[in-house]
Structure 1
Amino acid sequence: MKAKKARTIKKTLQITVLCLFAAAFLLPKGSQSYLMTGIAAAGVLVSLAILIIPPLASGLRKLRIPTGRATDTGNGNSDLETILIRQISYQITDTLQSAFPEATWEFAEPLRLSHLLDGDAIRLSTRNTGNHNFAEVSMDEYGSLHLQMLTVSALKRKGDKAASPDIPKVDPASWYSLIGKPFLVEMIGNLQAKGHQKLFIGEQGDVYILNGKEPEVKGKLEHFPPKAYWPALLQVFADDELEAAETENAVEITWA
């Protein structure tokens, strides 16, 4: 259609130019010079129009910018929300692969960004993560992501309630590698610089020092393993050259 239209315009211009030249020969000699000048000027203008207008129109068409608000991508998320979730996914991948280089994962159920912003723990299904097949990720009030590795049994053994697929088993070593160690390295460094020699971690993950006999909370460890896992956790601390002991309701960590 466009090619046919271009040929029609070209043919029309050719006929127009021929008519102008024919008129030039029929006019008196005194007027021919003015007409020839006009024909030449018209030819230049027509040529420029043929050369410039089509590319210019094409360029303007390419510069058209769609307007309107963010659209839904088909999974219940807006374009912006999808981009943010993708960036969060990259962070999760980097964290997982820092401990398990070949790890891959999927959200256990479709994720909306509001779930993370509300502080909810999001379940992940993981692969190539050693003995772990799940993880939970959450976001704190500062926007930092926290990841906890889980092992969920696929089968329930007869008479063994702990093997229920709904009850995750925490691996203290993975928790320490992904969450505990980065937090404690900074915390111990800050406390040691101020003359302290020990800290305590309560059952809910509260990290505190004793001001006389009163606890002074300095921070909180997310997803701190339950008390049943403390013996294994003490061994993890010992393997990392941290002196730790279990008290009645806390884990005590000391350093020289």
Structure 2
Amino acid sequence: DQNANIKCDMVKIVPLSKVGGETNEDDATPPNRQPVDPRIWYETQGRSVLEALISDLNSRGHSKLTLREDGDICIEQGEDAVSQEHLNNFPQKVYWPRLAEVLESNGLAAEVTAQGIQVSW
């Protein structure tokens, strides 16, 4: 001002990610793990197993299966879930919505449930 007084306000600087409270996919990645791209995983590991199994199950009258968190592929027979195959390096739950989109873009219906990803054709 005109009397040469100096006014100073303290400012606290924090990352915007902490202010908004939003989490993105990188924050949800477990420590010491590389982020998984569900599309790449499907193309390199999941597609061949699923296509062969779906073809076999379809010929036996099945129309859906469940991808479990541990990578097991199960079908329902009566009240029981019966494991048919196992998928290696199956993406963690945080990636399931994206994986469901990948499955849908490949002509399958996919729904994320509490038990896993239910896939139907």
TM bracket, shorter-chain basis: 0.7 to 0.9
Q: Partners in 1 of 2:96 and 2:113 — Cα distance?
A: 10
TM-score when normalising by structure 1 = 0.36
Match of 1:187 in 2: 53
Q: Is 1:218 equivalent to 2:48 in the alignment?
A: no
Count of aligned positions: 98
Contact kept in structure 1, 2:72 and 2:85, CA below 8 Å: yes
Match of 2:13 in 1: none
Instruction: Provide runs of 4+ in structure 1 moved above 2 Å.
Output: 158-167
Q: Partners in 2 of 1:166 and 1:244 — Cα distance?
A: 29
**Residue 249 of structure 1, CA deviation:** 1.9
Match of 1:239 in 2: 105
Q: Partners in 2 of 1:165 and 1:210 — Cα distance?
A: 35
Unaligned runs of 5+ in 2: 1-16, 19-25
Of structures 1 and 2, the one with the larger relative CO (CA 8 A, separation 6+) is 2
% identical aligned pairs = 35
Contact kept in structure 1, 2:28 and 2:94, CA below 8 Å: no
The CA RMSD measured in Å over matched residues stands at 2.2
TM-score when normalising by structure 2 = 0.74
Q: Is 1:178 equivalent to 2:39 in the alignment?
A: no
Q: Partners in 2 of 1:226 and 1:253 — Cα distance?
A: 16
**Residue 202 of structure 1, CA deviation:** 0.5
Unaligned runs of 5+ in 1: 1-157
The alignment partner of 1:195 has SS state of: coil
- Structure 1 residues 211 and 174: alpha-carbon distance in aligned structure 2, compared to 1, 3 A threshold: same
**AA of the residue aligned to 1:251:** I
